[in-house]
Amino acid sequence: MPYLPGFGVLVTRTAEVLGNPAGANPSPRNLFRIAGGAVKVTLLVGRVTTLMDATASTLRLQHSNNTTFLCAALAAIADDDVETLYEISGDVADLMYKLEIGAAGAGRGGLHGGIAAGAGVIANGMDMMPGDIEELWTGDQDGAIQWTLCYLPITVGATVIAVYDL
């Protein structure tokens, strides 16, 4: 896996549609699995790859061990454009932030709170124990998100991999 100096190991998960067209809501969905010990997550960002539809929907992330939320729910993701970024600050009380990328490549929104200079960068990192990072949403959304995470092992041998529900 690639290593980014200052951020750690880079793990990218293939984009997946949030909702289920058949009407079954598979939320929560596993995104990443932490195994072998503790890690410090230094970057966690989702990128919209397929336009979010007009369905009223919310989005948040949690850890599976004790359903600890990693952020407060982002209240509105309906109609979000391709290349919109979703990011967390590392403070579980903060909303998930949204960075909307304009046609010129410039962003608006996001990049505030505990976030350093860069989309999805968690200023002090988030220490996480083994378990899964899960995506939770409401609404039957047809949009898709690709998630990217960087981490530093705290425990020797600790890893993070992308996981896919069957």
| Selected residue with higher pLDDT from 20 and 69 | 69
Residues in contact with 32: Cβ distance below 8 Å, sequence separation at least 6, in sequence order: 11, 13, 132, 133, 147, 149, 160, 161, 162, 163
Neighbour tally for 57: CB within 10 Å: 23
3-state secondary structure of 106: coil
Query: 7 is in which domain, residue-wise?
Result: 3-162
Whole-model pTM: value is 0.85
Per-residue confidence (pLDDT) for residue 22, from 0 to 100 = 53
Q: Confidence class of residue 119 from pLDDT cuts 50, 70 and 90?
A: low
Distances (CA, A) of 1 to 4, 120, 160: 10, 19, 10
pLDDT in tens, 87-96: 888 888 888 8
Residues 96/87, Cβ–Cβ less than 8 Å: yes
pLDDT in tens, 54-85: 888 888 899 998 678 888 887 688 899 999 99
What's the number of domains the chain is made of?
1
Q: With 90 as the cut, is the pLDDT of residue 34 above it?
A: yes
